[in-house]
Structure 1
Amino acid sequence: MAPFHNILKLSLVAHLASTVSATLNIAAVLAWIEHVPLLVTTQDFYPASSQPPVLINGGVAELVSNDTIDLAANAETQAVRGFAKNDSLRIIWNVASVAYRLVVNTHALTADGTRNITTLADLRGKKIGTIVGASAGYFVEALLKTAGLNHDDYEIVVSGICHEAPCGNRTFPALFARGEIDAFGVWEPTVELGIQALPADQTKVFQDKKVYREIYNLHSTKEKLEKPEKRKEIVGFLKNLIQAQSVFEYSPEKVYERTSNAVNISVPLLEKVWRIHDWSGGLPADLLDVLEVEDEYIARLDGREPNTREKLKEMIDTSVMEEALEQLRAERANEWF
């Protein structure tokens, strides 16, 4: 990752605007922290005279079904689902990686009623909150599998997320506080609010990024990338996004307030969960491994056969990243003369 970091650090020195006149439409869930670098890119890295990209609420599902969408950001679980429907889908960059957390009420009794919950294995027979078919659902299943628990060894409870206390009656933190679920795992800051919902000595957090981290990627399609003018716009956007992400990674205090306003999360809460997010970018070396194992999970839920590893490999396109990074290197070299 060192070459990416070197380029990202340099981008703090010069806040450059792209010369590309953008007409891009980008789909992302606008309520999630992970999407905000896209927003900052559109606001800060395009000249006032240009047309910046337009963000719409959505994700990969919109990209693969709507030709007016050029880019989409989503977790890798939704990428494999989208690829099964439209194999022109391509992953071109990692916007954020997030090591999800599972919070447990340690005062809940184990299945045999003999003691409190202290280990993942103790969750056998318990009620666990998550969102099936999403990144959170895969995370919970994968984490509990490390303790020898299969998905039929516990009861899944699906509920809602929360961005700020007091949380709604049917959100995960509220259910957790009332003892209606014994643990839950989903994206932030909902888990942090669950941790805060009970006394510190009554909760335990499990987290293992080797088992699961959300890989929140930027996607396009083969057809979009084969159109010269559209590709030029996409490469220009990615070049600007790389610069925006450097601020998130190295000077987050500059974007706390805007992130807070964009997703309705208070700055103090945002600061607590910020470093769970990795904004360093690139394309993870293990991305194909992750896609392969997660496609099995999604395929089981969707009632289809998993794609082969060779087929999934088609989804990863490094060429856009390479072009964007080369343009940044050339701009940096020109600044020194």
Structure 2
Amino acid sequence: MLASALLTTATVGLLASSASATLKISSALSVIEYTPELWAIRQASSSSGSSSSSSPSIATITNGGVANIVTDTSVDLASNAETQALRQFATHKNLRIIYTVAEVAYRLVARSASATTVAGLKGKRIGTMPGTSAAYFVERILQDVGGLAPSDYTVVSGNICMANPCGAGSLPYMLAHGTIDAAGMWEPTMQLVLDALGTAGVPHTVFQNGSVYSEVFNLHSTSEKLADAAKRKEIVAFLKLLDKAEAQFAAPAGPSDAIVSLVASSVSGLAGNTSLVKAVWPVHTWTGDLHADKVLDVLVQEDAWVAHVDRRSAMSRETLATLIDASVLAEARQG
């Protein structure tokens, strides 16, 4: 996923009195994935009945991500996709993954006139955002499913879209108008791609394979924050709240109207569009856990790609293993 530079500057006050906040969380406010964090603290605030000092895990969420936590010591937690964690960990070995908030199986959509199989995209124009998790997904699915090398197709840079109408330069517009043959990106851009193609009456094919690539959207801290006994206690308390929120997000019957409303009103650019939130909900898996071995496998494979893009050496599996700290969640679940 894209670094926080493209996101709208915003601050979400989780309680009426931000002055009493003890945790500062930096998250990408233009993605759905961060919203269990917001729901967790809103629910804690509601159950406490006030914003008194006894309220559990009082926090604020500011727009950003892992780039903020490694440069701003006032930030205690940060959430982002694994691509940005790898990018920052290369030069900031104090970064730590402590929880997986969500996993998202990205979608690649092609005009059927261009291709009805992944292999059929050879020689075609593929829209995505270079250097991001979406670009990594495009390369992986074209290679692993279609047997295509990067030299077999042309990557075309396109923009995300959060709400209709999607303007020129956005992936939904480009694919609907035939500027590109296929597009791969995170949500809700891909749902808006499907909507645009449907409106234009353009036959299309959807490719999705979570075993090839799913975005892993993690919550991070730093070794210094986790070594501070008082701060660690607050972080552990927050993970307990987040666990409860994740269970509600992952409810078999689907999200409650209150959750959908919160997501639609809290993600930058969605402008309260609950229908769009419901449409993309099945693409998201609310993990609410930390499967260290699985995350490490993703990091090792993806870092080879990130290292190439960033023109550095890939990190070893042993080095990448130190990016993951499962002890915090284990502590939160004791007793």
Scaled by the length of structure 2, the TM-score of the pair is 0.86
Aligned to 1:271: 278
Task: Decide whether the 8 Å contact of 1:80 with 1:298 is kept in 2.
Answer: yes
Structure-2 separation of matches of 1:152 and 1:231:
47
Cα distance in 2, alignment partners of residues 124 and 177 from structure 1? 20
> Is the CA contact 2:26–2:79 (under 8 Å) kept in the aligned structure 1?
yes
1:157 paired with 2:164, answer: no
Q: Which residue of 1 aligns with 2:129?
A: 131
Aligned residue runs from structure 1 range 77-226, under 5 A: 77-108=83-114, 117-146=115-144, 147-199=146-198, 202-226=203-227
How far did residue 150 of structure 1 move? 1.4
Give identity over the alignment, percent: 45
Q: Is the 8 A contact 2:79 2:217 kept in 1?
A: yes
| Equivalent residues of 1:92, 1:283 under 8 A apart | yes
**CA contact under 8 A between 1:64 and 1:85: conserved in structure 2?**
no
Which residue identity does 2:288 align to in structure 1?
G
Could you tell me which residue of structure 2 aligns to residue 316 of structure 1? 324
- Correspondence for 1:258: 262
Distance in 1 separating the partners of 2:183 and 2:202: 17
Assess if the C-alpha contact under 8 Å between 2:97 and 2:221 holds in 1.
yes
Q: Which AA in structure 1 matches 2:139?
A: E
Partner in structure 2 of residue 42 of structure 1: 41
Letter in 2 for 1:142: R
Equivalent pairs counted in the alignment come to: 299
Could you tell me which residue of structure 2 aligns to residue 72 of structure 1?
A: 78
In 2: Cα distance, 1:233 partner to 1:140 partner:
39
Tell me the equivalent position of 2:61. Answer: 55
d(CA) in 2 for partners of 1:273 and 1:145? 26
Contact 1:22 1:233 in 2 (8 A): no
Distance 1:120 1:75 in 2: 25
Residue in 1 aligned with 2:313?
A: 305
Q: Is the 8 A contact 1:239 1:325 kept in 2?
A: yes
Find the aligned partners of 1:283 and 1:22 in 2 and give their Cα distance.
26
Is the CA contact 1:70–1:221 (under 8 Å) kept in the aligned structure 2?
A: yes
Q: CA contact under 8 A between 2:111 and 2:202: conserved in structure 1?
A: no
Structure 1 residue 280, shift from structure 2 partner = 3.1
Q: Normalized against structure 1, the TM-score is what?
A: 0.86
Residue 228 of structure 1 aligns with which residue?
Answer: 229
- 1:12-31 to structure 2, matched below 5 A, reads 22-31=21-30
**Contact residue 105 and residue 182 of structure 1 kept, 8 A:** yes
1:288 corresponding residue in structure 2: 296
**Cα shift at 1:152:** 2.2
Encode CA deviations 1:223-256: one digit per residue, 9 max, x unaligned.
1100000101111111111111111111512300
Q: Distance in 1 between matches of 2:113 and 2:321?
A: 45
Question: Is contact 1:76-1:214 (8 Å) kept?
Answer: yes
Name the SS for the 2:98 alignment partner: strand
* TM-superposed deviation, 1:201: 6.5
Give the structure with higher Rg (CA): 1
Where does the alignment leave 5 or more consecutive residues of structure 2 unmatched? 1-19
C-alpha deviation, 1:134, in angstroms: 1.3
Whether contact under 8 Å (1:100, 1:187) holds in the other structure is yes
Distance 1:270 1:123 in 2: 30
Q: What CA distance in whole angstroms lies between the structure 2 residues aligned with 1:204 and 1:119?
A: 8
CA-to-aligned-CA distance 1:73-124 (integer Å, 9 cap, x gap): 011111111110101111000100111100001113xxxxxxxx11111111
Deviation at 1:268, TM superposition (A): 1.3
- Give distance in 2, aligned partners of 1:325 and 1:164: 39
Report the CA distance between 1:22 and its aligned residue.
Answer: 5.0
Show the counterpart of 2:240.
239
Match of 2:150, SS state, is coil
Q: Which moved more, 1:196-205 or 1:288-297?
A: 196-205
